[in-house]
Structure 1
Amino acid sequence: MSIKPRLSRFDLTMIVISLVIGMGIFGTPSDVAQKAGNSWVFFGAWIFGGLVSLCGALTFAEIGARYPTTGGFYKVFSYSFHPAFAFMINWVLVISNAASVAAVALLGAEYINPILLPADMQNSFGTKLTTILTVLVLYGINFLGIKLSARTQNVLTIFKAGMIVVLCTAIFKSDALPVATSLTSQTDGNLVTAFGLSLVAVFFTYTGYAQTINFGGDIIDAKRNIPRSIFIGIGVVITLYLAINYAYFKVLGLEGLKQNHTLAATMAGIIFGPTGAKITSILMFVSVVAYVNVNILSSPRVYYAMAEDGILPQIFKRVNEKTQVQEFGMSFFVIAILVILFFVGSFSDMLRYVMFFETIGVSVAAIAIFILRKKTRGQDIKDIYTIKWYPLVPLVFILSYWFVTINIFISFKENPYAALFCLAAYAIGLGIYYLSVGKQQKPV
Structure 2
Amino acid sequence: MALILYAAFNINMSITPKLNRFDLSMIVISLVIGMGIFETPAQVALNVSNPYLYFGAWIFGGAISLCGALTFAEIGARYPTTGGFYKVFSHCFHPAFAFMINWIVVISNAASVAAVALIGAEYLNPLLLPPHLQHTIGIKLISMTSVLILYGNNLFGIKMSSRAQNVFTVFKIGLILVLCTSIFKSNSLVVVNMVNTPLVQDNISGFGMSLVAVFFTYGGYQQTINFGGDSINAKRNIPKAIFIGMITVIFLYLLINFAYFRAWGLEGLRHKPALAATLASAIFGDVGYKVTSLLMFISVMAFINVNIMSNPRVYYAMAEDGILPQKFKQVNQKTQVQVFGLSFFVVSVIFVLLFVNSFQKILNYVMFFDTIGLSTAAASIFILRKKTRHLDKTGIYTIKWYPAIPILFITTYWFVTITIFIKNPMAAFICLCAFIVGLIIYFTTKANKSPINPS
Partner of residue 441, structure 2 = 432
Report the alpha carbon displacement of residue 185 of structure 1 after superposing the two structures with TM.
2.9
User: Equivalent pairs: percent with the same residue?
Assistant: 64
Question: 1:106 and 1:177, CA in 2 relative to 1: closer, same or farther beyond 3 A?
Answer: closer
Contact 2:420 2:428 (C-alpha < 8 Å) held by counterparts: no
Give the AA of the match of 1:419.
A
Deviations 1:271-293 (A, max 9, x none): 11111211221232123211111
What is the alpha-carbon distance in structure 2 between the residues aligned to residue 307 and residue 197 of structure 1? Answer: 37
Report the alpha carbon displacement of residue 110 of structure 1 after superposing the two structures with TM.
2.4
Question: 1:128 and 1:385, CA in 2 relative to 1: closer, same or farther beyond 3 A?
Answer: same
What is the alpha-carbon distance in structure 2 between the residues aligned to residue 230 and residue 366 of structure 1? Answer: 15
Contact 2:48 2:202 (C-alpha < 8 Å) held by counterparts: no
What is the alpha-carbon distance in structure 2 between the residues aligned to residue 356 and residue 427 of structure 1? Answer: 15
Which range is displaced more, 260-269 or 14-23?
260-269
Counting only pairs closer than 5 Å after superposition, residues 325-344 of structure 1 correspond to structure 2 as 325-344=337-356
Contact 1:37 1:188 (C-alpha < 8 Å) held by counterparts: no
Residues 1:217 and 2:211 aligned together: no
Partner of residue 71, structure 1 = 83
Partner of residue 288, structure 2 = 276
Contact 1:98 1:337 (C-alpha < 8 Å) held by counterparts: yes
Contact 1:183 1:253 (C-alpha < 8 Å) held by counterparts: no
Which range is displaced more, 332-341 or 66-75?
332-341
Identify which of 407, 417, 429 aligns with 2:426. 417
Identify which of 177, 182, 187 aligns with 2:189. 177
Contact 1:33 1:254 (C-alpha < 8 Å) held by counterparts: yes
Residues 1:198 and 2:207 aligned together: no
Give the AA of the match of 2:427.
A
TM-score using structure 2 length? 0.93
RMSD: 1.6
Counting only pairs closer than 5 Å after superposition, residues 380-395 of structure 1 correspond to structure 2 as 380-395=392-407
Report the alpha carbon displacement of residue 380 of structure 1 after superposing the two structures with TM.
4.9
Contact 2:421 2:427 (C-alpha < 8 Å) held by counterparts: no
Give the AA of the match of 1:322.
K
Identify which of 52, 60, 63 aligns with 1:40. 52
Give the AA of the match of 2:179.
L
Report the alpha carbon displacement of residue 194 of structure 1 after superposing the two structures with TM.
2.8
Give the AA of the match of 2:239.
P
Report the alpha carbon displacement of residue 31 of structure 1 after superposing the two structures with TM.
1.1
Partner of residue 96, structure 2 = 84
Q: Give unmatched runs, 5+ long, in structure 1.
A: none
What is the alpha-carbon distance in structure 2 between the residues aligned to residue 51 and residue 248 of structure 1? Answer: 21
Counting only pairs closer than 5 Å after superposition, residues 39-438 of structure 1 correspond to structure 2 as 39-182=51-194, 184-186=196-198, 189-412=201-424, 416-438=425-447
Q: Give unmatched runs, 5+ long, in structure 2.
A: 1-11
Contact 2:78 2:391 (C-alpha < 8 Å) held by counterparts: no
Give the AA of the match of 2:66.
L
Which range is displaced more, 170-179 or 61-70?
170-179
The 3-state SS of whatever aligns with 2:331 is: coil
Deviations 1:355-388 (A, max 9, x none): 0000000010000110000111234542310011
Contact 2:118 2:357 (C-alpha < 8 Å) held by counterparts: no
Give the AA of the match of 1:193.
S
What is the alpha-carbon distance in structure 2 between the residues aligned to residue 262 and residue 188 of structure 1? Answer: 31
Give the AA of the match of 2:430.
F
Report the alpha carbon displacement of residue 101 of structure 1 after superposing the two structures with TM.
1.2
Aligned length: 439
Give the AA of the match of 1:98.
A
Contact 1:19 1:294 (C-alpha < 8 Å) held by counterparts: yes
Give the AA of the match of 2:397.
Y
